[in-house]
Chains A and B, each alone.
Chain A
Amino acid sequence: MASHYEAPIRRPLITGEKSFHDVTVDVARPVEGKANKAWWIVFSIALVAFLWGIGCIIYTVTTGIGVWGLNKTVNWAWDITNFVWWVGIGHAGTLISAVLLLFRQKWRMAINRSAEAMTIFAVFQAGLFPIIHMGRPWLAYWVLPIPNQFGSLWVNFNSPLLWDVFAISTYLSVSLVFWWTGLLPDFAMLRDRAVRPFQKKIYALVSFGWSGRAKDWQRFEEVSLVLAGLATPLVLSVHTIVSFDFATSIVPGWHTTIFPPYFVAGAIFSGFAMVNTLLIIMRKVCNLEDYITVQHIELMNIVIMLTGSIVGVAYITELFIAWYSGVEYEQFAFLNRATGPYWWAYWCMMSFNVFSPQFMWFKKLRTSIMFSFFISIVVNIGMWFERFVIIVTSLHRDYLPSSWTMFSPTFVDIGIFIGTIGFFFVLFLLYSRTFPVIAQAEVKTILKSSGERYKRIRENGDSLSGTGADVRTSHIKITEEKAITPKSTEDTSKQLEELLKGIGTFDASSETVDDLKVISGVGPKMEEVLNGIGIFTYLQVSKMTKREYDLLDEITGSFPGRAERDDWSGQAKTLLNN
């Protein structure tokens, strides 16, 4: 059908021979399966870090903010640095789900769910810091404009710190609603697949009884579009307001009008880096390489390169304006950043944020998974240093040289920061085992236009109509099955050659034989047959797609469709990873 047309020059966004049912199975697998050892190890580490952070927070609250490294001159340091860093990381989720939706970018669909999850978890971490810094967190509700026992004393609505309260809470709540609304159809999918009653109950509860009526979908799409339209200015406003915390002050190095766009670009930059860090690991652990492809990573790298360059322009503009303004305090602030005692932090920031993304101009580097992961970590560190440089180096040498000082964090500062990283990963790891990590309903809408299998069918000039059917789920009850034509058994050598070309041959000198009987559906007899063909390892089985299954059926002639029904390749992949 014409509606599924996509220019042939576009590379497929979903690789492998995926049908609609495959998307369901692949997205449900991490939720329905058991956690592997790697997950438990990472989760334990994150949990320990989180608990350590809780300890440090309790120590701070019971003893006082004096346990931090703050002093009379540097009276605002890691707390606000970490706050801005986490809020910034949060921005990529909304950018991917909202801005890319408005621009009709199909590649967002594989990553928007996790990016939004990351946003919400990152904003949790960010929100912790102002609350801890209040000293008496149980009085946090005082930031709300509520009638109180002190007469009609209200909060100060002229203060950017109060604007922050409204911006962050609106951002968190709207992101949460956007995320959850998108999750409803996917939770419904898990609910309808669930076998165990407990799981069924939980997913029935969280899917709000989603039924998937045509009218529901019409409203769903309209709501997504309007929410995207609202979230786009919202996400820009949030970091703009965060930058007002500094820009409305009179501290040299802070009161610059370039801050709002500069902070927003930096936020998107750091957020995409964090998305890359998380998804490069997740696609591997959850076997989602067919959905989060190298092309997705490449596109994210291009965004990182672009926003990194915008940040670079902002850094240089700041320097130029400081010089051009003729204000010597401003000039000193920037000279001190680059050449003062914190020169190392400044040059870390410069090289990590401006220089390192420039490698992404090279196609070879931006399509390398290892390199992308490395750069994403570098950028995460660089963006933390950016906030540290802006905050600490602007404060540590003020107008009065006798009060000049340095800042050194105590173990409590470090502990709380590490604790939020732990908390973030605890949430993300739990999410990755209980939530549908890919917006499968959305992915199914683009499967026929951007799936590798359907692109091939279309390019062969065949109709896509009816190709959504899947032998594993469709049992045609009304039309009689066509008589199965007997296959000639002698002419299998060509299929055999094709099959081995697809999955690779077994090299007895460098590889060992795996016990194929472990795969459910393969008995001793079938193993013998497979060995006879030349299939000995899980690696070979894992590479099988629909095409190879069909070839195998043609060769063996026994149990047609068995391999596909039992998902041998998926089983082999899991065996390989454990």
Chain B
Amino acid sequence: MEASKVIHAIYTDDDVLMSAVKTVRAEKYHIEDVFTPFPVHGLDKAMGLAPTRLAITAFLYGCIGLVFASAMMNYIMIQDWPQDIGGKPSFSFLENLPAFVPIMFELTVFFAAHLMVITFYMRSRIWPFKTAENPDPRTTDDHFLMEIAVHNNEESLTNLLKTTGAVEINIVEKDEDAH
């Protein structure tokens, strides 16, 4: 992508932002991003974002945890060093299964939770020493920023945004590709 021009429209209210997003979308402009200080419910749908699949990954990670725990219990307690603990000999995985349930449950949760969060951090590109990319520091306080790419349509876009209740409209040169 070449060095591109973007327009930053700043709003001070979530309801105004929502209706602005809907207007801009209805006019067939592509919204690059919206930066908000808190989750605005329904914004993802209004922007046309695809639903997140993180919950599905959590389920898969949980399954991996469960399989890992079962295999570990079977190897350690049944195969590698079977013992007779408290008169309950360890010769069969199924017969000894009840004693392994706590470990299997804990590891299922452990895998699902941690791997899902790591996936979230990787997908959203957040980690220690990462530089923040919100274009205006006020977007973590009480301002909402809509970023729209400009393709020789500055004027019409600016005029449209003015009608949506934006308090500031800035045209910014984006010298480097953020992603």
Contacts and interface: CB of A to CB of B under 8 A. Distances in A.
A488 interface: no
Nearest to B77: A157
B43 interface: yes
A195 B36 CA distance: 21
A174 interface: yes
A162 B100 CA distance: 11
B172 interface: no
Nearest to A476: B167
A469 B167 contact: yes
Given A448-B14, A470-B12, A152 B81 contact: yes
Contacts of A193: 137, 140-141
B167 A213 contact: no
A496 interface: no
Contacts of B117: 177, 181, 223, 227
Contact of B38 (A160, A207, A441): A441
A205 B132 CA distance: 10
Interface string B118-160: 0011011111111111100111111100000000000000000
Interface in A1-60: 1, 3-4, 19-21, 24
A281 interface: no
A468 B142 contact: yes
Q: Is the interface of A mostly helix, strand, loop or mixed?
A: helix
Nearest to B139: A212
B92 to A, nearest CB: 14
Given A209-B131, A214-B33, A230-B58, A222 B138 contact: no
Contacts of A192: 132, 134, 137-141
A41 to B, nearest CB: 33
Contacts of A188: 132, 134, 140
A400 interface: no
Q: Which of A1, A205, A216, A233 has its CB near the most chain B CB atoms (within 10 A)?
A: A216
A226 B132 contact: no
Contacts of B107: 166, 170
Interface string B63-96: 0000000001100110011010110100000001
Interface residues of A, number: 81
A214 B77 contact: no
A405 interface: no
A206 B30 CA distance: 33
Given A192-B140, A226-B55, A466 B37 contact: no
B100 A209 contact: no
Interface in B1-60: 12-16, 18-19, 33-44, 47, 49, 51-52, 54-55, 58
A239 to B, nearest CB: 12
Contacts of A162: 103
Given A188-B140, A218-B44, A226-B116, A464 B110 contact: no
Contact of B120 (A3, A223, A444, A473): A223
Contacts of B105: 233, 237
B15 A1 contact: yes
Given A210-B132, A213-B33, A478-B167, A170 B162 contact: no
Given A192-B141, A478-B166, A237 B49 contact: no
B73 A191 contact: no
A19 B73 CA distance: 55
Interface string A191-230: 1110000000000111111111111111111110111001
A146 to B, nearest CB: 11
A465 interface: yes
Given A19-B142, A166-B103, A192-B140, A227 B113 contact: yes
Interface in A143-174: 145, 152-154, 156-158, 160, 162-163, 166-167, 170, 173-174
A241 interface: yes
A233 B134 CA distance: 36
B168 interface: yes
A211 B179 CA distance: 13
A153 B81 contact: yes
A63 interface: no
Contact of B132 (A156, A207, A234): A207
Contacts of A479: 162
Contacts of B134: 188, 192, 211-212
23 contacts: A158-B77, A158-B85, A162-B103, A166-B102, A166-B106, A170-B110, A185-B140, A192-B140, A204-B131, A209-B125, A209-B126, A214-B40, A217-B36, A218-B44, A219-B52, A219-B54, A227-B117, A230-B109, A237-B102, A466-B15, A467-B13, A474-B167, A477-B167
